[in-house]
Amino acid sequence: VSAHWQREGKRAAAAAEPAPAVRLAPPLGQGVLLAAWVARARALRLPHAVVVEGARGSGKTTVLQWLAAALLCPSELDTEGPCGVCRTCLRVAADLHPDLHVITRAQDEDDHKQEKKSFYVLKVGQIRAAQDRLTRSPVEGRARVLVIADADTMEEEAQNALLKTLEEPGRDTFLLLEAARPEQLLPTVRSRVQRLRVLPLADAVLAEEIRRRIAPPPQRLEAAVALAAGSLGLGLLAGTERVVQLHDLVRAVLATTQGLRPVATARAVLAGADERRHELEQARTFLWLLRAELRAQGYGLAASAAGSYPAPQTEPWTSWLELTLAAERDLDLLIPPEQVLTACLVGFVARGLG
C-alpha cells in the first residue's frame, strides 16, 4: 500500500511541476577561453550582451545554456561554473526558469499558428514581448537572462527594436545571442555585443563522443567524423539513417551528372518531409553533404595536380561548389526548397563534365 501511495504521490508531484528530464551538460572541448567567460558569468560580470558564434551543430546552444546557468545558479560553492544539479540549473536546462526568456523561431505547426512565429525569421513582436518581460524584476533575484536563438535570423525591424535593450539593458540583465552567421546582424547591433566563438572539436574528441552516444559501426563513425569537421551536432547527424540515404543520393548525383534528372532528384531529397521545416532541414543537410563531398573530391584533384599531370577538370568542381553555396543562400531567402534544389542541380548539368 505504501509503495502504491508513494507512486501516486510522485505522480501527483510530477503533474504539479514536471520534473525536467533534460540534464545541464557542460560544453565539450572549449578550454580556458570559455572557462574565463563562465567565471565572469558566475560573478555577474559578464558583458551585458554576448553573441555566441559557431557553425551549424557546433554546440552553441550548450554554451548558451551553460552561461545562462552560470548567471542564474545560486550555489555559493561553485565559483567556476554552474553547479549543474540544483533546481535552478535543471530548470535552465529544461527551459523552465522564470528569469530565463528564450526567443526562438517556430519549432512546429502549433507555434506557427498559435504564437504566429515564423519558421524562417524572428519577428519584431517577439523581441517586444521579451522586452516587456525584462522590465519586471527577477523572480528569483540573481539576474534576468534573454536568450535569442538564431539571432542572425532577426528581421531588420526586430534588430532595430533590440537596440533599445542593447543600449540600456537594465541592472543584472544579460542578453545571450546565438548566431551561425553573425555578419547578418546589423552593424549597430554587432558593435554593441561581445563575440564568443565556439571552438571546433578535435577529431579524437569527436569520435569518442559520437561513439559514446550512438555507437555507429566503425566505417560509419569514420565517415561521420570526416563530415562533421569539428562539429558534434553534424557528427551525430551524420550517423543517422536519413543522412546516410542523403549521402548516397549525393554520391549518385556526382557519379552521373550527365544522366541527372534535377526535378526527380530534388523530390527524392525532400521525400518523407511532411512539414515545411523538415523540407528545409533535408535540403540544408543535402547541400551540406554535397559541399563536403565536392570539397573532398576537389582536394583529391588538387593532390593529383601536385604530381606530373595537370588537373584540367578542377573547374567544374569549384563552380559546383559555388552553386551549392548560392543554393544555401537561396534557402535563407525563403525560396521554396524544391525550387532551390532543382535550380542547383540544373546548374550542375549545365556545367557538367560533358
Q: Which residues bind Zn ion (CB under 5 A)?
A: 73, 75, 82-83, 86, 88-89
Closest distance between Zn ion and the C-beta of residue 132, in Å?
27
Nearer to Zn ion (CB atom), residue 79 or residue 114: 79
Contact 99, 142 (CB under 8 A): yes
| 287: nearest Cα among 330, 241, 256, 258 | 330
Please say which residue, 83 or 129, places its beta carbon nearer to Zn ion.
83
Closest contact distance (angstroms) between CB of 88 and Zn ion is 5
Nearer to Zn ion, 59 or 81 (CB): 81
Q: How far is the CB of 83 from Zn ion (least distance, A)?
A: 3
The smaller minimum CB distance to Zn ion, of residues 84 and 169, is found at 84
Q: CB of residue 89 vs Zn ion: minimum separation in angstroms?
A: 3
Rg (CA), the chain: 23
**Closer to Zn ion at the Cβ: 52 or 90?**
90
| CB 199, min distance to Zn ion, A | 25
Taking the least distance from each CB to Zn ion, the nearer of 86 and 254 is: 86
Neighbours of 306 (CB within 10 A): 9
Which residues sit opposite 173 in a β-bridge? Answer: 144
Q: At what angle do helices 276-305 and 262-270 cross, to 10 degrees?
A: 120
Alpha helices in the chain (DSSP H): 2-16, 31-42, 60-72, 87-93, 109-114, 124-134, 156-167, 187-190, 203-214, 218-228, 232-238, 241-255, 262-270, 276-305, 314-332, 337-350
Q: How far is the CB of 140 from Zn ion (least distance, A)?
A: 12
Q: Which is nearer to Zn ion, 140 or 157 (CB)?
A: 140
* Cα–Cα distances in angstroms (integers) from residue 251 to residues 229, 238, 258, 265, 322, in the given order: 19, 15, 14, 12, 18
CB of 107 to Zn ion, least distance (A): 26
Q: Which is nearer to Zn ion, 83 or 244 (CB)?
A: 83
**Pairwise CA distance, residues 82 & 96, whole Å:** 16
Residue at 211: amino acid letter: R
User: End-to-end alpha-carbon separation of the chain, Å?
Assistant: 79
Compute the least distance from the CB of residue 73 to Zn ion, in Å.
3
CB-based contacts of 48: which residues, under 8 Å, 6+ apart?
A: 166, 169, 173, 174, 175
